[in-house]
Amino acid sequence: MFFYRQHATFESSFDADLAAMSLYQFSLSDKLVENFEVKSLNGITDNTVITVDHVTVAKEILRQKFLVLIFEWFDISIVRMEKYFSWWTSLGVWDNFTINSCHFEFVEYGDHVGNHPMVPTVEDTLENFLVRNWADTELYHYAKILFAEQAKLLP
């Protein structure tokens, strides 16, 4: 989101100060919305202090309401989404050459959304994000567990 916000001059919320920041500076700034995902799932729009109870609610919402896809496992996630929505069979991903080629190209090369520079792991920057986003980090690890559990539910 940081890289998107740096370049989204067309957004009404574009912030030139953020555009000039390094990732490290952003990790320390007040422009970082801490625990954004947990806040969103709990309907929190202010500076409420996030607690373990908020994380528990977010996990339950994620478990009950979401098909979990993990960007790190992009290819598996795309296939899972296609199977969940029955696109695999209804669109002939497996036996229609044209569809299969599109599927392969999308999985292999992506659609350039989120095409941002790779950031080297810098310990201080990573530590800042982990501390300030402790609840989102916990939710992310839970999402990976759900990803595996949901695999058992899909054909």
Burial 37-61 (b: 16+ CB within 10 A, else e): bbbebbeeeeeeebeeebbeebbeb
pLDDT single digits (tens) 100-149: 677 667 666 665 555 555 555 677 888 999 999 999 999 999 999 999 99
CB 75 within 8 A of CB 107: yes
Give ∠ CA 84-89-91 in degrees, rounded to 5.
Answer: 100
pLDDT single digits (tens) 43-88: 999 989 999 999 999 999 999 999 999 988 888 888 888 888 887 7
Q: Quick one: pLDDT at residue 94? A: 66
Residue 30 confidence class, pLDDT cut points 50, 70, 90: very high
Q: Quick one: pLDDT at residue 109? A: 65
Q: Quick one: pLDDT at residue 93? A: 67
Structure tokens at 7: 């370049």
pLDDT surpasses 60 at 6: yes
The dihedral through the CA atoms of 136, 119, 127, 22 has a sign that is negative
Q: Pick from 41, 4, 60, 32: which is nearest to 131 by CA?
A: 32
